[in-house]
Amino acid sequence: MAAHLVRRCCWRYLGAFISPPSVPASLLAPVGKMVTARALPFNSFHTSSYLSCADGFSVKEQVEESRNPEHKVIGELIETATTPQDLLQLAELHALNSNQASQIITQLSRLSMGKNLETGSILQDERFQQLISIMDSQISHVWNNTLVNLVKSLYTLGVDSNRREVQSVEQEVLWRLRRLTFRQLASLAEFLALKQGKESRLLSEVLKKLELRWTELEGTRNVVSLMSKVGHMSPALMDRLEDKALELAEQFEPDDIRKVMLALAYQNRRCVPLLRALSYHLTQKHSELGLSILLDLIFAYGKLNFHQPQVFQKIATDLHPQVATMTPVEVTRCVRSFALLKWLSLPFFEAVAQYTLDNTKQLSVSQLCGLILSFARLNFQPSASEDFFSVVLEELEGELDNLEPHLLTDLVWSLCVLQQAKAPYLRRVLAPEFHAQIRGDDSPKAHSLRLKLIHINATARLECPEYQGPFLPLEMLSATEQGEERATLLQSSLREALAGVLGSLDKGRFNIRTIYGWHIDAEMVVNSENKPLPVKNFAAPHLPHSEGKKPLPPDARRIAFLRWEFPNFSNRSKELLGRYAMARRHLQAAGFLLVDVS
């Protein structure tokens, strides 16, 4: 056994330095026995039997190829063939072995893909069937790298996966999995993930091997490729890939960072340490980024809702001079991402507004709606606001009948946020026949639409004196009332603090749902000397059902306490959020003094 181990070590040492033709025959014999002896246990092949070179072939495979001149000639003919007929003729002119037949099938696949050829005629050719038979007759003699390429080629050419020969190839791959290099496993996994998906038994086994051998993973290219193509198939493997990516983050190029970010975004994996590392290296090392990389990055950050102000500022700054040359799809895509992140860069958004004015005819109705929705989310008013909205609304006015109800509601709601809602828009969504279609629907989507209609109704009543109706019925305004919710720590603290100020909880209201669709955490009434009054004694027009009937005394004021619900933003930036800004306007128009609680 000691002598056997010495021979293996000698082979590993000499194989790296001696060119294939000069390897002594005495060294080839033991290696040949190791490679071809199928009775040996799998663990004897795991690390020593196939020493991988840069092209994926083992040292022994290259030695055997170079020692046989005829094999070398056939290999050159296969590589230089330019048509499927050149390759198929080799089966007639030469006595091929299973490895050569497999190489021809692989080259046929490459030619058909490279030249976009129809594979039907190839599959029906008798010479191709002869190649399949030769390959199958001695499948165990096909080299590892050739076998991996063969599996991919059979699928690419469209050979029936239920055919006995294909299943034989798959079984051979399963037997050899422990002998394949990590790179071969990764290449096979990426292909099978694309072609077959999770139902593939072979892919399942390959993923298990990758999970066990992840420590062999080297190089940024392999990490990035596996994360983007295979990671979604195996959460356990993705965990390992994230660890490796964090280790290699400093070596990533901008395109690598883009691919990793997209992989995380599509899989909804919010790996904070990795995202922070990628963000740091993105801002510190990479000064210039291409347009496609910038668009993909801001999309990924928006999808993951991961806030990195320095990165956002860099992306917005780099995008600003390129806005005029972007396509409508690119513009609306990045604006939507910034809106999801609640990040407003005034120069960039002003450029987008000007782009919209210059290219209104090139923008589709859905794209124009998307821009208005994004502007409303950030409460952004262009400097040329009057021109912008007159042009955009004129373009949209004739298309309202064609909009899906939820999109139409979102559009009018956004116009209310931006204080640009006109009577025709309000009338269209507040009409009884429009909201009748969601009456009795308790789905979350219907509840969201109903709440937005209530906000629109509040805008029509409080901010549009020229609008004469229709309005939502009272029963719909009270439909947002739900069961008691558990008070948050902030609400409990507010209640305790107000109890000390009021002297009695009867002088205040808590957890109030108004007919305007807005939630008030607490309400109190004070007189001209700022002394609390019993709030329940007075009429409350902001509630569906008021307990009191008395009007407020002269100089008395209602005070509403609003909770600040956006942890990523300071209280000073509240005007950037359209929804919160509209709530403040409505409550102020209803006679409230507002106090922000955070």
Q: What is the DSSP string of 242-278?
A: HHHHHHHGGG--HHHHHHHHHHHHHTT---HHHHHHH
For range 10-35, the mean pLDDT: 38
Higher pLDDT, 142 or 574: 142
- Cα–Cα distance, 239 to 562 (Å, whole number): 41
pLDDT at 21: 39
197: left (phi over 0), alpha (psi -120 to 50) or beta: left
Angle between helices 346-358 and 328-340 (to 10 degrees): 150
pLDDT at 6 over 80: no
With H, G, I as helix, E, B as strand and everything else as coil, classify residue 592: strand
Q: Measuring CA to CA, which residue among 237, 232, 192 is closest to residue 216?
A: 237
Which of 163, 144, 226 is CA-nearest to residue 193? 226
pTM recorded for the entire structure: 0.77
Region of poorest pLDDT, from 334-343, 391-400, 517-526, 575-584: 575-584
> Max Cα separation, the chain?
111
Q: What is the mean pLDDT of residues 321-332?
A: 94
Question: For residues 452 and 102, what is the distance between their CA atoms, to the nearest angstrom?
Answer: 63
Give the closest residue to 187 by CA, choosing from 161, 163, 162, 153: 153
Q: Cβ–Cβ contacts within 10 Å for residue 215, how many? A: 9
pLDDT average, residue stretch 354-382: 93
584 is written with which tokens?
């403040």
Q: Residue 485 has what pLDDT?
A: 61
Kindly tell me if the per-residue pLDDT of 107 is higher than 90: no
